[in-house]
Amino acid sequence: MRTLLTVVSLALLVVAAIYLKWWAIPLLIAWVALGWTTGRRFQHAVEEGVSRSRGFVLREATVATDDIARDQVDEQNLSLKIELAITPRPGNAQVRPWEPGRLRLSLPDSLKALECELIEVAVKDGWSSRVDAPVTGRQRVRLTLSVPPATVQLHLRYFLEDLADIDLVPLELAPAVRRKPGA
Identify the pLDDT of residue 95. Answer: 63
Residues 67 and 147 in one domain: yes
Taking CA 68 as the corner, what is the angle to CA 116 and CA 133, rounded to the nearest 5 degrees? 45
Query: Distance between the two ends of the chain, CA-based, in angstroms?
Result: 40
The structural domain count of the chain equals 2
Q: What is the pTM of this model?
A: 0.64
Q: 64 lies in a domain?
A: yes
Summarised one tens digit per residue, pLDDT across range 27-52 is: 777 777 777 677 777 777 777 766 66
Residues 83 and 159 in one domain: yes
For residue 135, pLDDT beyond 70: yes
Distance of CA 182 to the CA centre of its chain: 19
Which range marks the domain in which residue 92 is found?
59-167
Within a 10 A sphere around the Cβ of 5, how many other Cβ atoms?
13
Shared-domain flag, residues 132 and 51: no
Structure confidence at residue 166 as a pLDDT band (50, 70, 90): confident
Put the strands of the sheet holding 139-147 in their side by side order. 62-72, 78-87, 139-147, 116-123, 126-128
Sorted by sequence, the CB contacts under 8 Å of residue 140 that are 6+ apart come out as 66, 83, 84, 85, 86, 121, 122
Whether residues 38 and 109 share a domain: the answer is no
